[in-house]
Amino acid sequence: MSTVTTPPPPTAPAPTAFEPFRTLLRTQRADCARQRELALAETATSVPDPVAVSRAAALSRRIEEIDAALDRITASTYGNCVHCGTGIPRSASSS
């Protein structure tokens, strides 16, 4: 008599130690996106406000930085220096 074993159902990936950072980054990204939309709306006049233009550009750069950090979390490289790959002490990465 042979026994048929069914493989266990796939499980969700285990949360990483950086999951709290991922949650925080997603919240910050959503906030930056809202602020950028408001700044862009201020630039939609016939005479754009230079401060609003600068703010929208700065928020766009911040969103790109957040997206890069989220990508590093996904790639399991978050917490390493982006230039040399050396691990950053946890106390430095949480500030």
Residues of the chain with pLDDT under 50: 11-13, 95
Sort 63 into a burial class: Cβ within 10 Å, 0-12 / 13-18 / 19+.
middle
Phi, psi of 14 (to 5 degrees): -65, 140
Contact 31/58 with Cβ under 8 angstroms? no
Q: How far apart are CA 22 and CA 25, in angstroms?
A: 5
- Please choose, from the candidates 8, 51, 11, 56, the residue with its C-alpha nearest in 3D space to the C-alpha of residue 32: 56
Predicted model pTM = 0.70
Predicted confidence (pLDDT) per residue in 9-36, tens digit: 554 445 678 889 999 999 999 999 999 9
